[in-house]
Structure 1
Amino acid sequence: MASSVSVQKKALRHTETFLSELASHADTLLRGRAYEQYAAICYRRGSEQADAEVLLVTSRESGRWVVPKGWPIKGKKPHEVAAIEAFEEAGVRGKVKKKPFGYFTYLKQLADGGRVPCIVELRLLEVDRTFQDFPERGQRRVEWVSFIEAANRVREPELKGLLLAAERKIRKAKGRK
C-alpha cells in the first residue's frame, strides 16, 4: 500500500511541476501563439478477458513517455499525420479515426534550449499490424501498457485524462460487439 501512495505522490509532484511550467507560458497560449501537432493514441483490444492496451513511446530528447506525435505535413490531413507518426515512431499501422478525440497542451523543448507551447490534436488509432523495422527504431523505447499505467507514466495532465477517457470509450465499444 505504501508503494501505491508513493507512486501517486510522485505523479502529483510531476503534474504540479508541469502545470507551473505551463503556467509561465499562459500569455503565449492565450494569445494563440502556440504550435500545433497531431498525435495518435495507438491501442489494441485484448481478448475477451483482457483489457485493451495502449502504446507509449519515449521522446528522443528527454526520454519521457509520450504518445506518437509530430508536426503538420504539407498535403496531409491531421489524421494522416497521426498515422504516419505512429508508424515512424512506434512501427504500428491500423485504422485511425478522422475525428479528433481530444486535445492537450505541453511545452516542446527546442534544439536551442528554448521551449514553445504546443497544442496537440489526438486521434484514436486501432492497431492491426506491428513492424520490427521502422524509421525511428533504436531512437525510442516502445511499450504496450494498460491505460492506467500509461496515464501514470505521461507527464501532461490533459493527456492523462484523455488516456483514461479513451479506455472507457474502447471498453464501452467492446461491450457492444
Structure 2
Amino acid sequence: MLNRPALVQIAALCMRETKSGDEVLLVTSSNGRWILPKGWPIDGMSGSQTALQEAWEEAGVKNARAAKEPVGTYDGKKTVDNGIERDCRVYVYAIEVEKLANKFPEKDKRKRKWVPFDRAAEFVEDADMAEFLRTLNG
C-alpha cells in the first residue's frame, strides 16, 4: 500500500484577555462539535493570513492580529469527501482578537463561544486538538 503524504490544514487560536484571564474562541464544526476555526491552505496567502481568513469566515473575527509563525502543530485525522480517513497536520496560528462581527460568512452554520484558556481542551472533542491545547496551557 502506498503511503500518502499528510494533508495540511491551518487553524486559528483566537484569544482575548479578560479580567478573569485569557479566553479562547471555539466554533462548532459541521457535526456540532467544538473546534478551533480551521481550513485548507489558501493559494497566495501565508499561513497567518489563512488563519485570519478562517477566523473571519467561521467566527466573525475582525480587527485581529495573527502571529507570523505557528505556535505549534498537531497531527490528526481528516475524513475527506470520499469517506476515507487521512493523516492531517494542522498548523496553529495565535490570533489576538479585538472585535467580533455580528454578521459573517458562516454565521448560520456555526455557533461560537469564548471559553477560559485553561479549560478549552475540556470543550473540544477532537482528542488531538484537545491534547495540543493542554500542551499549550502547560
User: Please, what TM-score do these two structures have when normalized by structure 2?
Assistant: 0.88
Tell me the equivalent position of 1:16: none
Query: What is the DSSP-based 3-state SS (H/G/I as helix, E as strand, rest coil) of the residue aligned with 1:72?
Result: coil
Whether the aligned pair in 2 keeps the contact of 1:41 and 1:163 (CA below 8 Å) is no
- Answer with 1 or 2: which has the greater Rg: 1
Map Cα deviations across residues 27-64 of structure 1 (whole Å, 9 max, x no partner): 98xx56110011111011012xx11111001111x221
Query: 1:106 aligned to 50, 53, 76, which one?
Result: 76
Q: Name structure 1 gaps, 5 residues minimum.
A: 1-26, 169-177
Query: Is the aligned partner of 1:78 residue 2:50?
Result: no
**Number of equivalenced pairs:** 137
Q: Name structure 2 gaps, 5 residues minimum.
A: none
**Matched residues in 2 for 1:157 and 1:147: separation?**
16
Query: 1:115 aligned to 60, 79, 85, which one?
Result: 85
**Matched residues in 2 for 1:151 and 1:136: separation?**
23
Higher RCO structure, 1 or 2 (CA under 8 Å, sep 6+): 2
Whether the aligned pair in 2 keeps the contact of 1:96 and 1:124 (CA below 8 Å) is yes
Whether the aligned pair in 2 keeps the contact of 1:105 and 1:156 (CA below 8 Å) is no
Tell me the equivalent position of 2:33: 64
Query: What is the DSSP-based 3-state SS (H/G/I as helix, E as strand, rest coil) of the residue aligned with 1:45?
Result: strand
> How is 1:141-156 mapped onto 2 (pairs within 5 angstroms)?
141-156=111-126
Whether the aligned pair in 1 keeps the contact of 2:42 and 2:50 (CA below 8 Å) is yes
Map Cα deviations across residues 124-148 of structure 1 (whole Å, 9 max, x no partner): 0010111000000010111111123
Shift of 1:105: 1.9
AA matched with 1:64: R
> How is 1:11-90 mapped onto 2 (pairs within 5 angstroms)?
31=3, 33-47=5-19, 50-60=20-30, 62-90=31-59
Query: 1:135 aligned to 83, 105, 108, which one?
Result: 105
Question: Structure 1 vs Structure 2: percent identity of aligned residues?
Answer: 37
Structure holding more strand per residue: 2
Tell me the equivalent position of 2:133: 163
Shift of 1:166: 4.0
Structure holding more helix per residue: 1
**Matched residues in 1 for 2:68 and 2:12: separation?**
11
Whether the aligned pair in 1 keeps the contact of 2:78 and 2:88 (CA below 8 Å) is yes
User: Please, what TM-score do these two structures have when normalized by structure 1?
Assistant: 0.70
**Matched residues in 1 for 2:103 and 2:136: separation?**
27
Query: What is the DSSP-based 3-state SS (H/G/I as helix, E as strand, rest coil) of the residue aligned with 2:58?
Result: helix
